[in-house]
Amino acid sequence: MGHVLAAREYKLLLKASEFQAEPTLQSANAFWTSRIAGIVSLIDEEPEPFERVVHRTIRFWDTADCVLSRNDLILRTREEMDENFVSAGTFETTLKLRMPDQFVVATTSFAEDGEGPETKFEEDIGPLEVVGPGAGTRVIVPVKRSTRNRFSLSTTIEGNPQQRPVRLADVFGMFPGVGDLIGEQATSADLVGGSMIHEYAFKRAKAKFSDNIDGKFTLSLWCFDGPEAKPSVAELSFTCETQNGTMPGKAAHGAYRLFIAFQNQLADIVDSENASKTALALPKGDAS
């Protein structure tokens, strides 16, 4: 039996140069007021601004030959921090499968259900775009904006930094089902880390898409060169939880219209060089 779709998340990568002010709740809500609230009012006349900021450090891992990303897998460690980026004591390791085929993802399992690992099955929705060939080329988008839909299964295990996987064998041990996807590998291969990311995640902005479906908005800023550095990556996203795997037509239509409106009305600040924030943080940048 497959996993039930828990949520749909719409993601739009923005130019990090638009966020050079100190990342604070005040600066995030200034952006919300000046650029976002007016667009969201097409769906909800009284959208609610961001209420809190979450501080985290994040790192992505793969082998030197990128065996995980070549198989549509993403390995991430994440640690909760206080406002001074001192550890708050929560560390987690997540393995995610992300690809366009809904049924392959829905029927995948990394670990046994039950207490312990947390597993989520979600739909990731981004702009329809293609990254041009060669270094430094721009993202190519259609004249009529649309979406690119993929599905993701993520399993998260809590622990401490000393328990993070350091070899591919550790990934097999923590997530036994991964062998069904990548088969026999040199499990003694070491894992290589991408850039250390200091994340500011502004959360709890909200709009109502229908009587039973709310969209919850997040502005994520990633700083690669330390918590006080200028952001290198910026992403605006909103998530709609499903109703036992389905989404009412009114809510789905409203979410789609809003995402297209974001692409059109924020065109001047949409990142036209990159298509994925994860790709910018993986070792060697090998991701989709």
Cα–Cα distances in Å, from 184 out to 43, 166, 169, 197? 49, 18, 11, 31
Whether residue 287 has pLDDT greater than 60: no
Phi then psi dihedrals of residue 26, to 5 deg: -65, -45
CB of 95 within 8 A of CB of 67? Answer: no
| Cβ neighbours, 10 Å, residue 17 | 12
pTM: 0.93
Q: What is the average per-residue pLDDT within 267-280?
A: 92
* Domain range list for the chain: 7-285
- Of 187, 254, 201, 200, which Cα lies nearest the Cα of 226? 200
User: Where does 7-285 sit in CATH, by number?
Assistant: 2.40.320.10
- Of 77, 75, 76, 73, which Cα lies nearest the Cα of 99? 73
Confidence at residue 114, expressed as pLDDT on a 0 to 100 scale: 62
- Tens of pLDDT along 144-167? 999 999 999 999 999 988 889 999
Cα–Cα distances in Å, from 192 out to 65, 69, 226? 10, 12, 20
Measured CA to CA, the distance from residue 191 to residue 173 in angstroms comes to 14
- Tens of pLDDT along 77-122? 999 999 999 999 899 999 999 999 999 999 999 987 666 789 999 9
